Structure 1
């Protein structure tokens, strides 16, 4: 009768039933556990070992301990875990506040917007402005351009009036073909003009407390834009107008659209030092002298 530890008669090393037991660890350390598998046809048991690995053979680390936890925050030390958790909490709170502010901005008038409307507007404008005029019920069907001209006094004391400068056209040229256009070119003049129109009557009289504020705002925008033009003298007065044209209907539509220009001309405004901080050098505005 063969010894219990001896292989079965006729069996080759690496074939037959392999025992499951501890495997001595490196350098005399704690043993590693391994699960054997049935050997294959090869004398060295290569095929059997491959099948055993595929069937779930388990081998722990060289030190005999089970594998540690995976990556992520759990793999960080305690101080870094705290920093990561606080950062995630701050980002989550900011996202919740932003979503709430954007919702209140586009929502119908309610108790919260009546009490905290100014705070909501301060958060949203100008970077996060929400404008639904692109969609129903009233999509934009007009092109509105803002023009400006100036009354200039030359070095010889003679007074002359410039032609109309297309301020909206200048913004369009700066935007067209630019993959990252400036927010100033896209919205400053447009929003400033909307602000003025909504706070004035059709005869250009203020209809509320914000009328004078909107007037000062649009005057400063016009002066900043005129600064880029060599006018050959000191600006003493400016005048603005808007040109409104209907968007032409597509060729496949039978709709008749009035595309004639309609003008809204504002009165002449005398330029003061308040219209541009520090005045404008270079023979444009020098009201502080």
Structure 2
């Protein structure tokens, strides 16, 4: 009777360990989720990198089902590249192709979300930096900075925000390299990223489909490591 008893004890021990592990993972998840959705505070800013890595892209929050918020803008990602100093054609539209692929595929993949999330994350990471108190104290006109922030401005911000911004730049650069390579068959040694933002008016003014404003935000030419290409 000792063997069955030992097996039962081992089974109970394994169940307890699994239960404790599950509680720990769930506690971590709910804690990071709370920090992610809570208003900005010193702790959430300090842990911004960790919460960003945990939440995106699998656990991003979207409350439109419960609090409908009409779409006010649409963004698209365009890229172009150079190889050996020669431009490899014009801008390649990555967003439209991925959206069409998603809409017309009975079993769509996540490529559209990869492109749209990279664009959104870059804009969000930039926004976090130019609104940061430490950055504004040294650069009062940080909001006038372009899509690609200077090293001086980055150095004024907290390390987690700098790291998050550079990570988003790297992600977009890698998407750009792949997009240009797929389009031209040539791997570029430098790429330029353009984010097209179409801002829509309020619903009461949307009778005319042509109403709205379109803005273009370009990075300088960037190397594969996300560094600005010297002119």
**Shorter-chain TM-score range:** 0.5 to 0.7
Unaligned runs of 5+ in 2: 1-6, 131-142, 156-161
**For the pair shown, which has the larger CA radius of gyration, 1 or 2?**
1
Deviation of 1:186 (Å): 0.3
Q: Between Structure 1 and Structure 2, which shows a larger proportion of helix residues?
A: 2
Give the equivalent residue in structure 2 for 1:191.
120
Give the equivalent residue in structure 2 for 1:79.
10
Distance 1:241-1:226 versus aligned 2 partners, 3 A rule: same
For residues 125 and 83 of structure 2, the distance between their equivalents in structure 1, rounded to whole angstroms, comes to 25
Distance 1:77-1:146 versus aligned 2 partners, 3 A rule: same
Give the equivalent residue in structure 1 for 2:94.
167
| Aligned pairs for 1:84-163 within 5 A | 84-110=15-41, 112-132=43-63, 139-152=70-83, 159-160=86-87, 162-163=89-90
Q: If the length of structure 2 is used for normalisation, what is the TM-score? A: 0.62
Q: If the length of structure 1 is used for normalisation, what is the TM-score? A: 0.52
Aligned with 1:228 (options 146, 157, 182):
182
Deviation of 1:268 (Å): 4.0
For residues 266 and 115 of structure 1, the distance between their equivalents in structure 2, rounded to whole angstroms, comes to 29
Tell me if structure 2 keeps the 8 A contact 1:223–1:275.
no
| Aligned pairs for 1:255-270 within 5 A | 255-256=206-207, 259-260=211-212, 262-269=214-221
- Partner SS state of residue 208, structure 1: helix
Distance 1:203-1:130 versus aligned 2 partners, 3 A rule: same
Deviation of 1:143 (Å): 1.4
For residues 13 and 145 of structure 2, the distance between their equivalents in structure 1, rounded to whole angstroms, comes to 62
Deviation of 1:180 (Å): 5.5
Distance 1:171-1:152 versus aligned 2 partners, 3 A rule: same
Q: After the TM superposition, list the runs of 4 or more consecutive aligned residues in structure 1 that deviate by more than 6 angstroms.
A: none
